[in-house]
Amino acid sequence: MSTQLFDNELCVKCRGRGFCNKPCRIYSKIKDFTPKTKTHFSGSSPPEIFVGKFNYPNISAGILAPDNSESDSERNMEFSAQESAELAYPEIWHEKKFSIDTILTNRSKLIYGKFKTEIKAKNNKFTNLMQEVSMAYKSVSTEFFLKKPPAYRLEINKHLPLIGNPAYLENVRLEENPQIKPKVEYLVSDTENKAVNSILELYKSQIAVTNINKILSAGLLGLKTQRKLVPTRWSITAVDDTISKNLLKNIKYYPEINEILLFHGYYVGNHYEILLLPDKFSFEVMEAYMPGSLWNLQSGTNLSQDYERFNGRKYYADSVTGAYYTMRLALCEYLEKIKRQAYCIVFREERPEYYAPLGVGILRELAREAFNKQPEKFNTIEEALKQSQTRLKLPIKTFTNKSILLKEYKQQTRLNKWV
């Protein structure tokens, strides 16, 4: 496939499939992205797995790893564990403030060795190996035998980091024993513990959320009779949703904050303004996709919006989707830390510089960083919104005119009433 792929009007629909012959603004940013010609290679999986959702419950799944022999020829050494992790972990991308170009280049190094399976397939060699990789907390040296050379393609998805270079597996074997934390090994072997409980135990044991996603996706949590592979996109949201709901059980009994707080953060074209108001827990996210950004190549601004009041949501947040749950988790972690509850309204600008999807994991880390900063404090909402406007590119009314919770808050009678 040529690097001349598609123009801006086709980006959202094309997703790397090559619908046109014009320079692609995503592929063209990736350094040294060339077709992979090998059908046999060894690589250190970060660890990284992917479970697809197309044609569910008969899906494709597999392991991702770079061809380490390519780096050997250049540096005569294998990827270090840290270098390998940098290919897969949004926690590291955000911590090191990697640019989109760097992340894309890193992701393009991964070859996706995949296989077809049914979600409840038992005693499948490829599934078993994928599960071993998913449990590891350090890179796993793996040898791949592919049926054909990898396809020169990246799958572009709003919810996930880029998945590239897919090829069906002929065979695969681990060249070393995966390093697995005892808590993970214990919960995977506990087939009488519900998946929800296992997720919470892993989180309390400080297992990274990204790792929990992989373990759930690989079908390793829950009651023995109910275990199955979970598409990666679904597992990410399930973990964020499960943990934040559990935190909310306590948060909703905490006293309310007693002042207006404002947090903000920015990373690779994503800007957050997070407003906390004194009241019972409620939560709203509004995302504005600015002209020229990845999911809006038109002239106007598109807005997505989802919210919940004190009693929570009954249905999936299908407008904001996965970013809603990543933000709610970061918020709940903060409220649990300060032992307070609050009324939260989130404004997100997706700016033109966010030209390629990196998955919702970077948004979780961005929100966590914002909450780790000292908040700005205000006497009125008007003052807080005025301060937000100094950092937003769009008029603040783009958000406030649409906000359901802000309108409801203004209509309530309270001591620090909005004026």
Tens-binned pLDDT, residue by residue, of the chain (419 aa): 333 333 344 555 565 555 656 667 777 777 777 778 899 999 999 999 999 999 999 999 999 999 886 554 444 344 577 788 999 999 999 999 999 999 999 998 999 999 999 999 777 899 999 999 999 999 999 999 999 999 888 777 777 888 989 999 999 999 999 999 999 999 999 999 999 999 999 999 999 999 999 999 999 999 999 999 999 999 999 999 999 999 999 999 999 999 999 999 999 999 999 999 999 999 999 999 998 777 676 767 889 999 999 999 999 999 999 999 999 999 999 999 999 999 999 999 999 999 888 999 999 999 999 999 999 999 999 999 999 999 999 999 999 999 999 999 988 755 444 44
Angle at 177 between CA 171 and CA 181, to 5 degrees: 125
Number of residues that this document lists for the chain: 419
**Cβ(388)–Cβ(275) under 8 Å?**
yes
Structure tokens at 77: 């050494």
User: DSSP alpha helices (H): ranges in 86-123?
Assistant: 90-95, 100-108
Put simply, whether the predicted model's pTM sits higher than 0.85 gets the answer yes
**Cβ(363)–Cβ(270) under 8 Å?**
yes
Query: What Cα–Cα distance (Å) separates residue 127 from each residue in 49, 60, 234?
Result: 11, 10, 18
Cα torsion 231, 233, 236, 240 to 10°: value is -120
Q: How far apart are CA 240 and CA 326, in angstroms?
A: 6
**Cβ(106)–Cβ(32) under 8 Å?**
no
Q: Which helix (H) or strand (E) holds 75?
A: helix 68-75
Total Cβ atoms within 10 A of residue 336 = 17
Chain centroid, CA 157 distance in Å: 11
Chain centroid, CA 393 distance in Å: 24
